[in-house]
Structure 1
Amino acid sequence: MWSLERHRDVGAYALGVLDPAERFRFEDHLPECATCASLVGELAPTTGALALYARVTPPCVEVLARPAPTFLDRAVDRLGALHRRTRRRLWGATVAALLVLAAAGQGVAMLTGVGTGSGHTATLRGHDAGTGVAATVTADDQDWGTQVGLDVRDSGGPRVCELVAVGRDGSEQTVATWTVRGDPVALDGGVAARPADLARFEVRAADGIPLLTLPMRAS
């Protein structure tokens, strides 16, 4: 039993971590045990390398570099936020597609909300069978106001049209103007008002005749 216990002390002896009494007993055992003597010899290069590292490494340097906790926290938070935004976008796109199919050809405007990193994005889709105008408007909440995206199809024309943002206080801001030539039109623009302050978007002809109204809230 004593011999087996000494076998287990080989690593500790090679690293120099045995207390004086245990070291004395192991060295007393070592000449009589060829197995332990062989193991100590095999560990000698490793213990020598560790000793050299200890001599040349400043005390304040850790063996392994570790990222700061704040870095790990930021990385985990950003990954979680990305996953949440992806799930919201997929859900919003699915709901919007179902609403478009359900309301096709009925001349109604629809509103769906999709979360974004900067705030809230309202996506409005509508079609007016009388004027032949179909449009999708996205209103992205920004610190400076509302970033607006427009995709519009117009079977009328040729004519000049405009997209107007109408505030809840009745104020109006022109987002963009374009000429209808029979092809779909995609435009980007912006207004100073925030989405919460907007009542609706209107596609109008240049003479002010409304062609399609997209309310910020479904009626």
Structure 2
Amino acid sequence: MTQEQHFDVASYALGVLDERDASRFEDHLIDCPSCAIELESLLPVVDILSDVDADALVATEQSRRDGLMLKTMIGEVKRERRRANSRRLYSLAAAVVVFAMLSIGALFAGGQWLGSSDDQAPSQQAARSSKQLDPLPIAEGGTGLGGTKLPGEHLTGTDPRSGVTADVGLERKDWGTQVSFAVANIKGPLLCRLVVVRTDGASEVLSTWKVGEKGWGTAAQPDPLLLQAVTALPREDIAHLQIQAVDSKGASENLVRVP
């Protein structure tokens, strides 16, 4: 910014620039937040000067020459302040200041958003997953483990080797199938998953969860584990479901199949 442009701030605020210089300064003002802020700070002073009684002020001046100059300046300010472009001055200054502040704020906030976007994604995904694993509400349908009513078509299965029992409710939806299931006589610690096997033999993991030491449907924890999951598969494409245990190396073992 040049010294001349600094002087132009006061001259523009007082309205003493000719049309060419005023237009040149306005072009500069759009790209210079510093001048815009300085202009905004001068506006109250210009308001005060426009209400000053020039004749009374000149009477107090020591020099007639200085008094005449001051009188001329104040008179010019009064005339310019009454012009319609005074409204444009306020609007332009305010707009540029707001633009400058928003630009600085956007740069600061943008850095935070970019930095936190990746950190938030896992927590949001976890929240969505946990929502699918909420306890089942009481609904019309077949009576399952622990007296729970599973919605939709009711299926059940017990594995003679593992002793795990599972009840499943398959409910048809416009978007696929909702799977509600209850698991009992399962002991931990285990990492488990629900797998749907399609009629063409392909499989899909619908949900995963952990089983603590007390287990579910056991003497230590009599209540069955109640969960929900969803799949885009229509009911007629589902052959059966499996509950599997997964070890630390990713190997799986079938605990129960339904039906």
Same fold per TM (> 0.5)? no
Highest CA radius of gyration, 1 or 2? 2
Give the number of the structure whose residues are more often strand, by fraction: 1
Q: Under a length normalisation based on structure 2, what TM-score does the superposition of the two structures give? A: 0.36
Give the number of the structure whose residues are more often helix, by fraction: 2
